[in-house]
């Protein structure tokens, strides 16, 4: 499937999607406008209905005014997620048919930069990531995501991935997304793990996460000296490395922030 998507990437319109098998944009913050929440990693409204983004990039080739693409008969199936009365409205970007406007003086309608407000077919409505006008499906049940990718990926369920955590860790330790959660890895992408109980039996076949030239503790990370070099210890347990495409050993526990 992913290979097919790579080949299709040379063609226009629907491939500007946030479908389930494409990369999902990471959220900018872990708080949302009033009435919006997350259930099962999907944004929902007060009723628990999945929020769908009408991707203006996918609609650009279909109409000269993609921000108003869903009007008329479309509104019999899709309900715009309207913004609070008096919310500051951002201009339509020029790439989507907007005119040249100065946006520096426009105040955000939310403290989360993911969420802005734009003039939609039924009035001011929420926009996600500046390109997805937000709707709910009128005939949908709470929790349903059956319309994800509908109409050539014009409609996409808005999925939530938490923002990267702030780490206090050695310089070569990063947080990487895996199955919707963050795990710790080294700079080469090797997953970091610790043994579930006792340390690795001698002789140990696991690869220790070496400290290199570092000899000082960092936050919850400390250093233990082995016969050959220093090894990082995280939360009291020694740290080892698993190759990026190999699972953490059954008797190991992947490290999380």
Q: How many domains does the chain have?
A: 2
Question: Could you report the per-residue pLDDT of 91-127, keeping only the tens digit for each?
Answer: 877 777 666 554 444 566 788 999 999 988 899 999 9
**From the CA atom positions of the chain, what is the Rg in Å?**
23
What percent of the chain lies above the pLDDT cut of 90?
53
Question: Could you report the per-residue pLDDT of 49-69, keeping only the tens digit for each?
Answer: 999 999 988 888 787 778 888
What percent of the chain lies above the pLDDT cut of 70?
84
More confident residue, 238 or 214: 238
Asked whether the predicted pLDDT for residue 215 surpasses 60, the reply is yes
- Residue count of the chain, please give it: 257
Q: Beta 132-137 vs 78-80: how paired, if at all?
A: antiparallel
What pLDDT shows up at residue 204? 79
Residue 199 in any domain: the answer is yes
124 plus 223 within the same structural domain: no
Closest CA to 218 of 148, 170, 185, 183: 170
What pLDDT shows up at residue 99? 62
Residue 164 in any domain: the answer is no
Domain that holds residue 6: 2-157
Question: Could you report the per-residue pLDDT of 220-245, keeping only the tens digit for each?
Answer: 999 998 777 899 999 999 999 998 77
Band of pLDDT at residue 136, cut at 50, 70 and 90: very high
Question: Could you report the per-residue pLDDT of 159-201, keeping only the tens digit for each?
Answer: 999 998 999 999 999 999 887 789 999 999 999 999 998 787 7
All residues at 6 or more sequence positions from 65 whose CB lies less than 8 Å from its CB, including other chains: 97
119 plus 221 within the same structural domain: no
Asked whether the predicted pLDDT for residue 83 surpasses 70, the reply is yes
Domain stops at, among 101, 127, 157: 157
Backbone angles phi, psi at 239, to 5 degrees: -110, 135
Residue 198 in any domain: the answer is yes
100 plus 184 within the same structural domain: no
């Amino acid at each position: 499937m992913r290979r097919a998507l790579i080949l299709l990437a040379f063609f226009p319109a629907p491939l500007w999607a946030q479908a389930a098998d494409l990369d999902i944009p990471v959220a900018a913050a872990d708080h949302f406008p009033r009435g919006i929440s997350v259930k099962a990693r999907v944004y929902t409204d007060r009723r628990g209905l999945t929020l769908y983004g009408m991707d203006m990039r996918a609609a650009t080739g279909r109409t000269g005014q993609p921000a108003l693409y869903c009007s008329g008969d479309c509104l019999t199936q899709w309900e715009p997620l309207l913004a609070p009365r008096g919310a500051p409205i951002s201009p339509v970007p020029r790439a989507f048919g907007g005119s040249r406007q100065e946006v520096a003086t426009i105040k955000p309608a939310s403290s989360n930069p993911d969420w802005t407000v734009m003039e939609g077919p039924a009035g001011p409505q929420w926009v996600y990531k500046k390109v997805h006008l937000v709707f709910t499906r009128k005939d949908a049940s709470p929790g349903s995501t059956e319309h994800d990718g509908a109409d050539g990926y014009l409609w996409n369920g808005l999925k939530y991935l938490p923002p990267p955590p702030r780490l206090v860790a050695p310089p070569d330790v990063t947080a990487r997304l895996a199955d919707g959660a963050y795990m710790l890895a080294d700079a080469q992408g090797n997953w970091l793990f610790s043994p579930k109980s006792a340390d690795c039996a001698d002789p140990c076949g696991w690869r220790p996460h070496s400290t290199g030239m570092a000899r000082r503790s960092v936050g919850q990370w400390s250093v233990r000296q082995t016969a050959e070099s220093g090894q990082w210890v995280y939360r009291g347990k020694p740290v080892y490395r698993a190759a990026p495409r190999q699972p953490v050993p059954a008797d190991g526990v992947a490290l999380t922030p």
